[in-house]
Amino acid sequence: MVRGTPLSINGLWPALRVTVDPGRSIADRELVLAAVQQDGAALAFASEELREEKEVVLQAVHQTGSALAFAAPALKADREAHGAAMAAAREEWPVAMAGGLVEAIARDFVVWAAVQESGLALEHAADELRDDEDLVFVAVATGAALRFASPRLRAQRRMVCQALRADEAALAWASEVPGRAFASLGA
């Protein structure tokens, strides 16, 4: 987004004259609620704190089912949020079905729930979910799940450290370069 331009997604809510600098988010709860009521995808511009608020996320997914992708990790696995996202996707039926949105929301919910139960469930996740930083961070809290993360995430210091907190043997699953860098951690 260009600095100083009105915050708008495909011109769907230009009445809200807001400017957002690249890389910044909006922390004003009332403004975010107004925006997501017009276009749920506006949740992408909300602060992390607002993405963790169930009311804000529900407002967004009631409007646009795919807005669930911008929710905090805990809410991505929330049954009520998924129900609202599925309902919104059904209303957007032609677009949602053509793009596989309903199936994707259902699949993501199942994977999130499974990974929260056991990080090793990451083994059965689709490749794009094995590359989802939020999901993998939750999964690798068990340590051994690091082996099922994408190569990109197995190379991230944050992921490897999270896995090492749970299981020193997780170092064996770190990508080659970070594995050497992490050997100095005494794992």
Q: Does residue 143 sit in the same domain as residue 181?
A: yes
Q: Mean pLDDT score of the chain, rounded to an integer? A: 76
Structure tokens at 86: 């599925």
Listed ranges 34-43, 91-100, 153-162; the one with the highest mean pLDDT: 153-162
CA 148 to chain centre: 18
Query: What confidence tens digit (pLDDT) does each residue in 116-156 have?
Result: 778 888 888 888 889 999 889 999 998 899 999 999 999 99
16 phi and psi, to 5 degrees? Answer: -85, 100
pTM of the model: 0.49
Q: Does residue 88 sit in the same domain as residue 150?
A: no
Which domain range does residue 100 map to? 1-110
Report the number of distinct structural domains present in the chain: 2
Which residue in this structure is represented by tokens 């068990």?
Answer: 142
Q: What is the mean pLDDT of residues 95-113?
A: 60
End-to-end CA distance of the chain: give it in Å, rounded. Answer: 42
Q: Does residue 5 sit in the same domain as residue 58?
A: yes
Cβ neighbors of 11 (< 8 A, separation 6 or more) are none
